[in-house]
A and B are shown apart, each in its own frame.
Chain A
Amino acid sequence: MPFLCVNTQHKRMITKMTHVSIYVTDQARAYDFYTNKLGFKVITDVPMPNNDRWITVCPPEQPGFEIMLAPINRGLFSKETANALKELVEKGTFGVGLFTCDDIYATYEELKAKGVEFTKVPKKEFYGIEAIFKDDSGNWFSLAQLV
């Protein structure tokens, strides 16, 4: 049955994720937070029309994954929607993702020393050791040392 043969040249549909948006309430402040506090690298910082900036950053060891620091007030949303989104972000509604690290205790101590706010201190869980921190806008992330 030739039609059942596996085609090694077959192109898979989705292969990987390259960009993700994080909605931030103040782009310049977020830039400082993600680069100087979290230690992320800037991949793109391009000035755009209307005093806008296209900024993407990445975790130091993941250059192929661009996190866009997207200001809520960029004009994508109506004023009403932007205000509602800003309120939700600021009150910590959105858990955006999980970052991993080699040594969670050292990472936790360093981020705490830099003023990063944690809502969960490192705790052993069945999947590893996990803490939770918030960015300067209110988005929260899991920080984990996975087993």
Chain B
Amino acid sequence: MTGEQYPKIYLYRRLVQAKLFIDAHYADKIDLSNIADEAYFSKFHFIRAFKNIYRKTPHQYLIFVRIEKARGLLKAGIPVSEACYAVGFESLSSFSKLFKSIAGITPSAYSIQQQKIKTQIAEAPLTFIPGCFAEKKGWLKKEQF
């Protein structure tokens, strides 16, 4: 592989490592300046290079990951306040506000919605599967198809 085919390999590796660090430590108190230092970037250069690749600043990406993880917890039935602190937020009100701006729905409404879907899945799992596949797999009687 030549340098021309695969440019700035070390730059990419450092940015990817920073992203993976956020993925792994989103629940901790992350100081993004430290990540920039560890990636051998000036803070300004780091933010710009990160945004070029991921379309979000490191801070925006951290918030996004936390909200995505919170969605998973709410889906699993974890209460809103517990999910908020588990993903690294320190304030319930900022969590709710950010959750709504990203997910388009409040955390409590999302939780209710997901629990309703879970109940529907438990009561009528076949309604979530295209009938033709269910029939082919023998999950559905032919006369119901």
Contacts and interface: CB of A to CB of B under 8 A. Distances in A.
A106 B12 contact: yes
Interface in A47-86: 47-49, 52, 54, 68, 74-76
Dominant secondary structure at the B interface: helix
Interface centre among A46, A47, A102, A121 (most CB of B within 10 A): A46
A47 B129 CA distance: 11
Contact of B138 (A44, A47, A75, A122): A75
A103 B11 CA distance: 13
Contact of B13 (A44, A74, A109): A109
A72 to B, nearest CB: 13
Given A105-B6, A106-B53, A121 B1 contact: yes
A5 interface: no
Contacts of B6: 105, 121-122
A47 to B, nearest CB: 7
Contacts of B129: 44, 46, 48, 54
A123 B1 CA distance: 8
